[in-house]
Amino acid sequence: MSTSPAVQYYHHGRFKVSNGVIPDAVTAFKTYGNPENPCIVFPTCFGGKLARQDYMIGPEKALNPEKYYIVTLALFSNGESSSPSNTPTPYNGPYFPEVSYEDNIRAQHAVLTEHLSVKKVFCVVGFSMGAQQAYYWPVMYPEMVERFVVLCGSARTSPHNQCFIEGPKIALVSSKDFENGHYKTTPQHGIRAFARVYSAWAYGQTWYRNKQYLYDGMYPDLNSFIRGNWEARFLDAWDANDMITLINTWQQGDVSLIRHGGDLEKCLSEITAKGLIMPSKTDLYFPPEDSENEVSWMRNGAELAVIDTVWGHLAGGGANSKDDEFIKSKILHFFKSTA
């Protein structure tokens, strides 16, 4: 069995972000494979740690480290890169500045070019918040990026999506133990409330009918599933201030603000990289209709491939083997057809 590579850390020094500065900014990353091979960039999503990225990486998976040089990069505020939970005073906790997607991509670009000596990116692949980053890369660095794959994401966080995000966010920050971000122990009430609100959006409309949430009998009822699968994952691995900062990044996402003042159609029409856009049929917050519009505006041969699934948003995140195989087949064909 192969061993996952160790996490590495790149120090940017003083790094300006959208609402302030990180005095000694750090981007955490991993590399897989031979740096002489074509480079694939695979950034994390919300709730994503670098170890979780392995779900798509392997000789028999969509991203093959025997053929490609794969670089996974952690978002600011995921707890591995610079975050409220690991930054010293005076920028610790609730004093950590807001960070945009654009800030993250600038940092990732520095890791690739200044540290890893990558000159060309064969493909940027991302799921959810990672998918939104995949849109930013070819807009910010068009001369560098050849292709990009979007799994269950969008170029702009829609008003409907922003409204959803307000739900879990307010459940956390309004809890009695969040203490305006100055908590001294894990805010159990807030994180559990966040997880319960957040769990609802991740699944498609047919989940209950198919009883997929029971994981083939692993959980006896819905409450057990939410506690064991959703509350646990955030309580065990996440800091509350980190979660809020990441949500703010997600909520403000709009790639067209970089150069086109919010004109998304114009922005996407100027993308020169080839795109593979893969929404989930039952995703309630990145619906396929948004992806259809985005693909229609891209003039350089973007392909739309809807994942026909009952797994909602999670279809793009390694939730089940059927969807994984569909995604793998589409990505491998995309890599070959655009070579």
Please give the pLDDT value at position 317: 92
Among 128, 175, 280, 291, the one annotated catalytic = 128
Those residues of the chain that have pLDDT short of 70 are 1-2, 202-217, 338-339
The amino acid at 143? E
Cβ atoms of residues 297 and 263 within 8 Å: no
Between the CA of residue 111 and those of 67, 88, 116, 333, what are the distances in Å?
21, 22, 6, 29
Please give the pLDDT value at position 64: 98
CATH topology of domain 161-248: Rna Polymerase Sigma Factor; Chain: A (1.10.1740)
Q: Give the angle 230-233-237 at the CA atoms, nearest 5°.
A: 155
Residues composing the chain? 339
Please give the pLDDT value at position 48: 92
Please give the pLDDT value at position 74: 98
Measured from the Cβ of residue 228, the count of other Cβ atoms closer than 10 Å reads 13
Among 12, 280, 313, 324, the one annotated catalytic = 313
Please give the pLDDT value at position 37: 98
The two beta strands, 274-278 and 123-127, are: unpaired
* Domain ranges for the chain: 8-158+254-337, 161-248
Cβ atoms of residues 68 and 42 within 8 Å: no
pLDDT tens digits, residue range 48-91? 999 999 999 999 999 999 999 999 999 999 999 999 999 999 99
For the entire predicted model, the pTM comes to 0.94
The amino acid at 131? A
Q: Is 22 exposed, middle or buried (0-12, 13-18, 19+ CB in 10 A)?
A: buried
263 is catalytic: no
12 is catalytic: no
Q: Which residue shows structure tokens 């990145």?
A: 286
CATH topology of domain 8-158+254-337: Rossmann fold (3.40.50)
Q: Give the angle 54-238-64 at the CA atoms, nearest 5°.
A: 10
333 is catalytic: no
Q: Which alpha helices (DSSP H) does the chain contain, by range? A: 101-110, 129-140, 159-173, 188-201, 207-210, 222-225, 232-237, 240-251, 264-269, 288-297, 321-337
Q: How far apart are CA 93 and CA 34, in angstroms?
A: 38
Q: How far apart are CA 48 and CA 33, in angstroms?
A: 21
Cross-strand pairs, 20: 17
Among 242, 283, 290, 324, the one annotated catalytic = 283
Cβ atoms of residues 157 and 251 within 8 Å: yes
